[in-house]
Amino acid sequence: MTITVPKSRTRFRKAKERAFFYVVCGFSLLTAVPLLLIIWEVVRKGYRQISLSFFTENAPSTLDAMLAKTAGESIPGGIANGILGTLSMTLIAALIAIPSGILAGVYLSEKRKTAFAGIVRFLTELLQGTPSIVIGIIAYAWIVVPLGSYSMLAGSVALAGIMLPLIVRSTEETLNMLPSPLKEAGLALGAPYRSVVMRILVPSAFGGMFTGILLAVSRAMGETAPLMLTALGCATLNFDPLHPTSAVPLLIWEFYNDPNLVDLIWGCSLLLLILTLLLNIIAKRIAAKWKI
């Protein structure tokens, strides 16, 4: 028996599908427009400040900036001290957060039904939802107060606290996506449990884990509030982890509060935007290549 669908109903269904498609496209475009406008504004005002001196010289003083603006010249100096501080603190934070985050994620995946794993998972989710300024206060109490001074180390601990829950969750979720026969086959061949986890499961989940690590690093690099309470800032290059240091987000805040240096905000913002964009592109490429 053949059922004939009236043409009017078919046309009505196709019209609804087209209308729904256009609505989705419209809202997607509406969501993208503010982001594109922000990127355009940052690029338009920031590219003029990008030069060799921008990466090799320290941030200028208010007097230098005022004299340059009075003479109609571009503001001298750069943000080398901020770049060095950001890279140093991010590196130290990564050395703290990545090993501990991966081990915690492996534990939560392997012992997911135990009471202790439930407590760790709850604390991880609580830490992930904690405002960054609160993490900065905790790092201030744990590191700055005992040492008696602001330091690169204190800023690194604050950034590690921001990175840690993201790494733990991405590691756990990626390991949970692995097929169970993969682990069973390794154990059936007589491999020790430790070797199965570290040489089979972890390498198999490398793509998702590394993506989570890069996203955690990109988030930590843009944080300002915790560094105001821990690293404080420094006008020169600092290589000592026990002394105050600067960072690109800290320089943006300092430039914002100085009318003579406010133009440098755009160059700093463009640099952070480029770094974050590169990290996200790398994360997506790795996720696509190592997709489970």
Does the pLDDT of residue 6 top 70, yes or no? no
Does the pLDDT of residue 117 top 80, yes or no? yes
For residue 63, the model assigns a pLDDT of 87
Overall pTM > 0.85: yes
What's the burial of 133, exposed, middle or buried (CB within 10 Å: 0-12/13-18/19+)? middle
Q: Please report which residue ranges of the chain form alpha helices under DSSP H.
A: 7-46, 52-56, 62-70, 80-110, 115-128, 132-139, 145-147, 152-176, 180-188, 193-196, 202-204, 206-221, 225-228, 248-256, 264-289
- Report the amino acid identity of residue 92: I
pLDDT 10s digits, 163-220? 999 999 999 999 999 888 888 888 888 888 889 988 889 988 888 898 899 989 999 9
CA nearest 201: which of 211, 187, 189, 215? 187
CATH 3.50.50.60 fits 81-289, yes or no: no
C-alpha count within 13 angstroms, C-beta hemisphere, residue 269? 20
Start-to-end CA span in the chain (Å):
46
Percent of the chain with pLDDT over 70: 96
C-alpha–C-alpha distance, residues 260 and 264, integer Å: 9
Does the pLDDT of residue 3 top 60, yes or no? no
For residue 4, the model assigns a pLDDT of 60
pLDDT 10s digits, 254-281? 999 988 898 899 999 999 999 988 888 8
For residue 64, the model assigns a pLDDT of 87
User: And the tokens for 292?
Assistant: 């489970």
- The predicted model gives 88-107 an average pLDDT of 95
pLDDT 10s digits, 222-243? 999 999 999 999 989 999 999 9
Contact status, residue 157 vs residue 96, Cβ threshold 8 Å: yes
For residue 13, the model assigns a pLDDT of 80
Phi–psi pair at 245, nearest 5 degrees = -140, 160
pLDDT 10s digits, 14-36? 888 888 889 999 988 888 898 88
pLDDT grade for 98, boundaries at 50, 70 and 90: very high
Contact status, residue 268 vs residue 252, Cβ threshold 8 Å: yes
Mean pLDDT of the chain: 89
